[in-house]
Structure 1
Amino acid sequence: MNLSISQIKKKSLATLKGKWGLGVALTFIVFLVTTIVPTILEILLSGGFSQWINQTETPVIADMVNLLISFLFIPLTVASYWFFLSIARWNDPKISEVFAVYKEWELSLKLIGTSILVGIFTILWSLLLIIPGIIKGLSYSQVFFLLRDNPQLSALEAITESKIRMKGYKWKYFLMNLSFIGWAFIAIFTLGIGFLWLTPYISTANATFYNELIAPQVHEDQESTDLES
């Protein structure tokens, strides 16, 4: 069924019922981890709080460490997407499952490598013009969901698969995410606190988009392949 944007959003709200607390908690924890840890390291590498607060430029070593940390946080971010995909599928995920991604070091490295490739491809397209870069970013938007359901795919295969599956759906995906802009402005006026609720809503909507529109395409192709063989 080709659900409309409003139907996707309504379904995401339905799956979030009773799980808002989990979604808010995960959003808050991920925010703390990905902002406080780099800040503490930057303070230490800058020679202490007093020097850090008065510095006009960040030490090169601090920039390098922060870059490394940002790569290390990629599996955490992707596992957060999978957490909300689980909610979109009416399951009961645990926050501990998000951090468990680091137990599988091969998977973590694969996610980091895939993210870097997606970033490189998007930047290269953006060098031509902004619009092609945006379009390609939309094409690559399903990569990590596809890897969740199809872990046998390589990074390049997942990127190619996302491009194929998003044909005819990029505009809908763009409009769906754009439809949250009003809520984003409201969240800003709450000093950012509103994002603790808005982020789970958007994340679950994106997961529902994949679950309802993209995943069925893959399943249909797999069934066709099985019948042919």
Structure 2
Amino acid sequence: MHISEIKKKARQSLANNWAVASLLTFFTFLVITGLEYLYEIKISGGLSNWIYNYQHHIDLPLSVQIAEIVYSLIVTPITVTFYWYFLGLTRSENPQIGQVFAVYSDFKKAVKLFWVSFVLGFFILMWTLLLVVPGIIKTLSYSQTYFIIKDHPEYSATEAITESRELMGGYKWKFFVLELSFIGWALLSVVTLFIGLLWLAPYFFTSLAVFYNELSDYQQAESAESVSEQ
């Protein structure tokens, strides 16, 4: 798996889909982060007051902070289905924007995705509390969890995380390099006041999906070869 080939396949998957993918990125950002900021601005009494509070490190009321935490937990499943959208693109499944937000129509699925995200975050946090480097390594090891739970909805949170760890054996560095290869684009997005993220995010997440497809296909082929040799 060459990084250049992964990114090339990502661009091919995004061909004729850039506009929709960028629109999805905008809506997802708005739902996950934008509405939270708008709420803060309203509670603060306007944009100027919000900026003043931020610059002077004035905390919001505790009730507002609790409300924001609850809201963040509620929208967690959207983060997972956002990943799934780009996985669908790489597999020519013609995914729709509505599918990302329709996760709440299936309460059990929404709860499960929340739980997967919670367990994943908890594991990474525990490793990070030990030392930063182990936390980074485990973040890379568990990076395929969201994709795996899509392909194996029968898995529990820990089973998906374990599968990701096994799948990433020997490939953590390559995945890290893939992520690093987008730093230049990220800096360019900052120059454009983050507007460039509307195009960068689809490219980035589609590349991650291609990486997962390539990795899982390779591992399956390797397993089949081992069985045939026995």
TM-score of the alignment, normalized to the shorter chain, above 0.5: yes
1:142/1:162 contact within 8 Å kept: yes
Match of 1:65 in 2: 67
Q: How far, CA to CA, are the matches of 1:193 and 1:50 in structure 2? A: 20
- 2:176 counterpart letter in structure 1: F
- 2:187 counterpart letter in structure 1: F
Q: How far, CA to CA, are the matches of 1:59 and 1:100 in structure 2? A: 32
- Kindly state the Cα deviation for residue 51 of structure 1 after the two structures are TM-superposed: 9.7
Match of 2:34 in 1: 36
- Kindly state the Cα deviation for residue 217 of structure 1 after the two structures are TM-superposed: 2.7
Deviations 1:164-212 (A, max 9, x none): 1110111100000001001111111011111100000000000000011
Match of 2:177 in 1: 175
Q: How far, CA to CA, are the matches of 1:75 and 1:214 in structure 2? A: 23
Match of 1:136 in 2: 138
Matches within 5 A, 1:204-215: 204-215=206-217
In the alignment, structure 2 segments of 5+ residues that lack a partner are: none
* TM-aligned CA distance change 1:30 to 1:209, over 3 Å: same
* TM-aligned CA distance change 1:72 to 1:224, over 3 Å: farther
Q: How far, CA to CA, are the matches of 2:79 and 2:220 in structure 1? A: 24
- 2:134 counterpart letter in structure 1: P
Matches within 5 A, 1:1-229: 3-43=1-41, 46=43, 48-49=45-46, 53=50, 55=53, 56-217=58-219
Tell me the TM-score normalised to structure 1 length: 0.90
Matched pairs, number: 223
Q: How far, CA to CA, are the matches of 1:64 and 1:222 in structure 2? A: 50
Q: How far, CA to CA, are the matches of 2:31 and 2:61 in structure 1? A: 22
* TM-aligned CA distance change 1:152 to 1:215, over 3 Å: farther
CA RMSD of aligned residues (A): 2.3
Tell me the TM-score normalised to structure 2 length: 0.89
In the alignment, structure 1 segments of 5+ residues that lack a partner are: none
- 1:196 counterpart letter in structure 2: L
- Kindly state the Cα deviation for residue 130 of structure 1 after the two structures are TM-superposed: 0.8
1:71/1:112 contact within 8 Å kept: yes
Deviates more, 1:122-131 or 1:195-204: 122-131
* TM-aligned CA distance change 1:69 to 1:92, over 3 Å: same
